[in-house]
Each structure stands twice: as structure tokens, then as C-alpha cells.
Structure 1
Amino acid sequence: MEPGFWHERWQKGEIGFHLDRFNPKLLAYWPRLAVPVEATVFVPLCGKTLDMLWLREQGHRVVGVELSPVAVSQFFEENDATPEVTACPPHAAYTTDGIRLYLGDYFALTPEQVWHWGPKAPAHTAIYDRAALVALPPEMRPRYAAQLRSLARPGTKMLLVTLEYPQAERAGPPFSVPPDEVFRHFADVSSIEHWSDDDVLPEHPHWQARGISYLREHVFALTWHR
């Protein structure tokens, strides 16, 4: 999937994946993850998600990366914030109180960019992925996972939300990412707990109208050990 696909979606406002509220799975499961207040939380392919505001409200320092300048601009405009913009080749860094967004390529991001900004490096780190892994087609997901593995540190905690449905019945995104794929990408570097497996098809009548036979939402908790 080329970058132009996402640029076009944002320019046209075709962003059905964006929620105008905090994600219920984040609210329900983040406290259970027991991330220390002072942790830095990384949100890959963040768009303009309001979840970053909620994470900041919990006391965390939040770092996101997003390809679309439209998404980054709208995040700050819609939340009445004026960021400081600095060059951080090949990215631009947009920073406001407790939040930094990197505009540019997720795959070019370094651990130093993610964790080492601000007055000191964090003692605790976490990752929140609600719409990144499922946004990518199968051929791109191994590369996404490899980059995430390179960014995480021992002890990093992660809350991961995925969808599962018959991929043949619908073209993504979002794509179907079943539990066995999550374990395939991350089981060798982290402990994985499968916290929930919910039937969410009744909540999505437009999916039902398209004849999707089932739609399940999974929540995973990961803790990196290397």
C-alpha cells in the first residue's frame, strides 16, 4: 500500500477509521496494563486520534508518528494547540505540552526519536496500537512488526487492538489480523496475553449490510523481554 493512498484518504476526508471519542478498549484495558504514570507512550500511525489526549491525561508523555500532514495539522487545530515545529530529518517534529508528533515515515523512525526527547530518557516505555497493524495489508505487516521490534525496549508494555473477519468478504483497510498472526510477529520477543475476543458485528451495521459473516475485536497485552 503506497503512501499516496493515505494522503488521498486524508485529503478527501475519507477517514472512517477515525473515532470522535476515546476508544472504549483503551479506556477499559489501559489501566489493567499498569503502565507507570511517568512512562512515554508511542502511538504508531497515529492519525489525529483523541486517544493521545487521554493518554496524556493519565500523566504519560506521548509520541506519535503520522505520514499525513493533514492529520497532524488537524490534530493540533481541533484541539486548540499550537505546536513548536522543529526539523528532525527525515521528519518534522510537532511538539506541544506532553505530546510530540513526528510527521513522516514510520519506517524511518529511530528509538532515539521515540524515547529520547524531553529533559531525560524515560525509565518506562509503552506502545498503543489500535489502528496501525490493521491498517496494513499482509505483505507490509512483517515489516511493520520488525520496525516495532526495533523500537521497543526490554520491559516495554503494549496494548494492541486488532480486528478479525473473513478477509475474502471485504477488502481492507482495516484488514483482518487474527490472533495467530499477532503471536507469529511478536511471541519470540515478548510475552503475550489475549485479553478479549468480542463479537462487534452488531455494532457495525454497515459491515452487516455488506454481508460480512462475522467481525471480532481482539485485545492483547504484550511485554517485551528483548
Structure 2
Amino acid sequence: MDTSFWIRKWEKNEIAFHECEANPLLVKYFKELSLVKGSRVFLPLCGKTLDIHWLLSNGYCVAGAELSKIAIQQLFEELGVIPKIKGVGELDHYSTNNVDIFVGDIFDLSREMLGPVDAIYDRAALVALPEKMRNQYAVHLTNITDKAPQLLICYEYDQSVLEGPPFSVNHEEVNKIYGDSYDLKFMESTNVLDGLKGQCAAKENVWLLKKD
């Protein structure tokens, strides 16, 4: 899978993965990150998720990375604000007072470009990447955020039944790619209503990752 896969999804409006409300698991577990109001939360591969609206409405600042310019244009339209746009390296930086989104390949985003973040919220990034890319992504994410604490939500299901994305990321893999960097706490496993894409029984697993 290359970057053009997700860009085509947005161009064709094939965005069934886009939720119509803030993720209930974010709402339930975000407090476990113990952040004060005004803290800056990084959402990798954020799309135009309504989780951003929820974070802003609760007094947090948001940083994000996203491949699709269409997704981010729609995000700011739905937020009702006009962003400033400037080039930063290979990326385009869309910004308002409390929002910074970097459009392009997340692997082109450096710690210096991103700036300090207080936490990571990953609902859609790790599970969007094929297995061969997930370790590389985890290393890059911990580097550019200086191992910021993380709320991670993963799908787990029988990968032989459904190809993905989103891909299945089980407990063993989470421990493998993050166990050396974080103290991992498994919070909850909940069944996906009607299955994943209506085709396959699946669970959403919630993890809290803090510096060890």
C-alpha cells in the first residue's frame, strides 16, 4: 500500500471509516492521560475526524498529520475557520490558533516541524498501515513526539476473513512495537457493533501508553 491509496479514497469520497461522532472510547478514556486544559494533542493520520472537534470543545489544542489535502480542507470548513497555509519542508502546514495540521507524508514530519506535544491520540493511524510499515511508524512517532503518552485504539479480528485496512493489530504486536518505549496498560476490549464493515466480528482494544 502506498500513499496514493488513501488520497484516492478521499478523492472518491470512499470514507466509510469516517465516524459521525466523537469516538466513545476517546470520551471515556481521554482523562487517563491526565492532561491539563490547553495541552497539545497529536493525532496522526487524522483525516477530518470529529474527535478533533471534541478535543477543541474541551479546551485542548490539536496537532495532526494527514495525507489528504481534501480531508483537511473539509476539516477546516466544518470547523468554520480559515487556516493559514504555508510550506514546511515537503509538507503543507494548515494552522489556526489552536490547530496545526501537517498535510503530506507523516514520515516527512520532524520533531522540529511538529513542535512539543503533550500526548498522542491514535485511533486511525497504526491500524491503517500494513504490518511491514507499523514498526517503522511506531519508531518515527515516538521520535517526533519525544515519547509523549499515548491513547491507542486498535482493531483486532481474523485477518484471513477481511484484508483491511483497517488492519488487525493484536496484543502481541502492540507489545512488540511499543514495549521498549512505554509502560503499556490494556484498558478495555469492546465488540464492534455489527462487525467490521459488516463482514467480520472484531474488537476495539484500548491501550494507555506512558513513558516507562
Q: TM-score range by the shorter chain?
A: over 0.9
Identity %: 38
- What secondary structure sits across from 1:140 in the alignment? helix
| Partner Cα distance (1:206, 1:140) in 2 | 22
Partner of 1:12: 12
Contact 1:152 1:224 in 2 (8 A): no
Is 1:167 matched up with 2:159?
yes
Which aligned pairs between 1:52-91 and structure 2 lie closer than 5 A? Answer: 52-91=52-91
Could you give the per-residue CA deviations for residues 180-206 of structure 1, whole angstroms, max 9, x where no partner exists?
Answer: 111110111111100001222xx1257
Larger Rg: 1
- What secondary structure sits across from 1:56 in the alignment? helix
Could you give the per-residue CA deviations for residues 72-122 of structure 1, whole angstroms, max 9, x where no partner exists?
Answer: 111111221100112211111111130011111100111122225xxxxx6
What TM-score comes out, normalization by structure 1 length? 0.89
* Correspondence for 1:149 among 139, 142, 152: 142
- What secondary structure sits across from 2:132 in the alignment? coil
| Partner Cα distance (2:137, 2:19) in 1 | 23
Deviation at 1:52, TM superposition (A): 1.2
**CA RMSD of the aligned region, Å?**
1.5
Deviation at 1:65, TM superposition (A): 0.7
| Partner Cα distance (2:177, 2:139) in 1 | 8
Structure 2 counterpart of 1:90, one-letter code? E
Is 1:223 matched up with 2:210?
yes
| Partner Cα distance (1:152, 1:86) in 2 | 22
Contact 1:85 1:93 in 2 (8 A): yes
| Partner Cα distance (2:177, 2:140) in 1 | 11
Deviation at 1:57, TM superposition (A): 2.2
Structure 1 counterpart of 2:80, one-letter code? D
Change (3 A) 1:162 1:205: closer
| Partner Cα distance (1:205, 1:146) in 2 | 31
Could you give the per-residue CA deviations for residues 35-65 of structure 1, whole angstroms, max 9, x where no partner exists?
Answer: 2223211100011111112112222221001
Structure 2 counterpart of 1:167, one-letter code? Q
Contact 2:195 2:202 in 1 (8 A): no
Contact 1:40 1:115 in 2 (8 A): no
Is 1:204 matched up with 2:191?
no
Gaps of 5+ in 2: none
Partner of 1:158: 150
* Correspondence for 2:127 among 128, 131, 134: 134
| Partner Cα distance (1:135, 1:106) in 2 | 13
- What secondary structure sits across from 2:190 in the alignment? strand
Partner of 1:119: none
Contact 1:153 1:224 in 2 (8 A): no
Deviation at 1:215, TM superposition (A): 0.8
